[in-house]
Amino acid sequence: MQTFISSSDNTSRGWMLGDGHFTTMHQHLGRVRLWPLHKARLIKACRRLHMAEPDWSAVEAALARLPDEGDRVVRLTLLRGAGGRGYGIAGSTETVVALNCSSFPVHYFAWREQGIELGLCEGRLGSSPLLAGLKTSNRLEQVLLRAELEDRGLDEGVVLNDAGVIMEAVTANLFWRKDDAVFTPALATNGVHGTVRAWIINELGDRVQTVNAPLDALYDADEIWLTNALMGLVPVHAFAGRTLQQPFSMTRALQRKYEQID
């Protein structure tokens, strides 16, 4: 069945151009986890996209009013308001705030304990240095990559860029350990600077190297794990047919520390 909407409902820049950005957060026991890191990323995105920042006190008051319903997903979206013509942003001085809540993907709890098998995506991320690191409202590359995972029956997959460099997983950031060194993609030309990724980099300091690495680095890794604000830290027990040996010492140590923070 075809559904049509009125012209008055489809004139916003968010609808027409994907002109905005968002963050997805884990509400646990009435509190949004890692809120300072989410807020810091939203502020950076506003500045890079030349968007007005919202009234943060009003945003935080709205988050504080959310009912305590155990574990939930909270999405905070910031869209450029009315004004401008075509691609131009002149006159667009207001930022529209949208707050949405949904049920928590409970399979992530099992993933954290049991780990997952990680595949390798055939689709690749194009270079987009103007938007690198940002979680913009246009996520069509991720939609297509997720469709590939579903078609192939994979839980998650590593995504390379068009130069063959490791970038991230479809819905998560990626870390790996070789001996005592820890690595994560630099994400200078694409990808998302995730909040749990930022927390790990802050936690481990100089021990983490942000790199532009070829795929061979993962085949040679002693340990691989995924991160995002909902899954937390998930160990990888197999990658592209290669089994990684437990006990996933680095992942487990970071998991324990992560569970202790708000």
Write out the catalytic residue numbers. 24, 135, 168
CA distances from 248 to 163, 176, 245, 258 (A): 30, 11, 7, 15
How far from each other are the two terminal CA atoms of the chain, in whole angstroms? 45
Q: Within a 10 A sphere around the Cβ of 123, how many other Cβ atoms?
A: 16
What is the rounded CA–CA span in Å between residue 17 and residue 15?
A: 6
Instruction: Take residue 48 and report the two structure tokens written for it.
Output: 């890079």
Q: Using an 8 Å Cβ cutoff, are 76 and 59 in contact?
A: yes
What is the rounded CA–CA span in Å between residue 164 and residue 231?
A: 26
Strand partners, 81: none
Instruction: Take residue 241 and report the two structure tokens written for it.
Output: 């047919």
What is the rounded CA–CA span in Å between residue 21 and residue 133?
A: 11
